[in-house]
Amino acid sequence: MKRTSTQVDFRTGWLRPMALLPLALAAASLPAFGQQAYVSRFDLFTGYTYLDSPVVSLRENGFQFQAGVRANTWLSLGFDYSVSAGTLTLTPNLLATSLRQQLGAELGQLAAAGEIPSGYNLIVPAHSRTQTFAGGPQFSYRHFSKVTLFIRPSAGAIHEYATPQPGDPIAAAIAAQLAPAGHKVDTVVFYGFGGGVDYSFSKHVGLRVQGDFVHDHLFGDLLQNGRNTVRLSIGPCFNFGNNVAR
């Protein structure tokens, strides 16, 4: 699909400096070695999130929330939720083999009858809304007084609601076959890994920058293969409760 001048290429624009931000924060705080005197029992995070699934050209912007409880200074258990919305693009090469063959036969008949223009490429854009739900452990490294590094396994459920928005009559007819109800909804399990960094401005408030790389197979009745998804987020984090470092 042709990119307009008002669209932003997130992968080559602000995403690169965002990915480098954890390293910059850590480097700025390298002199601040030492035990973290206060490690709160509970933490919360709210912030902006960006979801990217390159295979289906999915790009979404949204909101992420996390809540955790620390068992000790290095282990936390928590819940993660995000919701985002944007667009994706379906092309015939992404479809399951049987569907691809069926569409190929239909388009071939239309081309033979002269009902589609020469060189026509089938593209079906869609508006998408995605929610993720996850829970599990997180492992932290607290060698620096102001910077905490963390990693985690990522596993949970992903729910997506997609509404086709075809741009021509042929794509509209194909979209009606693929999504007779006018939309497609699916929920599947995802798995992967993630991590990030917390930078503490004070005892109770900090900045969190994090990312997750996961795999899922949404819309398995339509799509031949699963897809890899990257989620990046940034926002404030809040620490409160008794000190587990004692």
- Give the pLDDT confidence score for residue 33 in this predicted structure: 52
Residues 198-241 have pLDDT tens digits of: 999 999 999 999 999 999 999 999 999 999 999 999 999 999 99
In this prediction the pTM is: 0.83
Tell whether 226 is covered by a domain. yes
Q: Which two tokens stand for residue 129?
A: 């809304």
Above 50 in pLDDT, residue 1?
no
Tell whether 187 is covered by a domain. yes
Tell whether 17 is covered by a domain. no
Q: Which two tokens stand for residue 145?
A: 């007084």
Number of domains in the chain: 1
In whole angstroms, give the CA distance from residue 125 to residue 4.
15
In whole angstroms, give the CA distance from residue 173 to residue 152.
44
Residues 118-159 have pLDDT tens digits of: 788 899 999 999 999 999 999 999 999 999 999 999 999 999
**What are the backbone dihedrals phi and psi of residue 170, each rounded to the nearest 5 degrees, phi first?**
-65, -45
Tell whether 109 is covered by a domain. yes
DSSP 13: T
Tell whether 176 is covered by a domain. yes
Tell whether 1 is covered by a domain. no
Residues 150-208 have pLDDT tens digits of: 999 999 999 999 999 999 999 999 999 999 999 999 999 999 999 999 999 999 999 99
- Give the pLDDT confidence score for residue 34 in this predicted structure: 59
Q: How far is residue 210 from each of residues 151, 152, 201, 216, measured CA to CA in Å?
A: 9, 11, 17, 20
In whole angstroms, give the CA distance from residue 217 to residue 223.
8
Q: What is the CATH number of the domain that holds 67?
A: 2.40.160.20
Tell whether 13 is covered by a domain. no
Count of other CB atoms within 10 angstroms of residue 78: 19
pLDDT band at residue 117, thresholds of 50, 70 and 90? confident
Average pLDDT, integer, range 90-108 = 91
Tell whether 146 is covered by a domain. yes
Counting every residue, how long is the chain? 246
Residue range(s) defining the domain that contains residue 134: 22-243
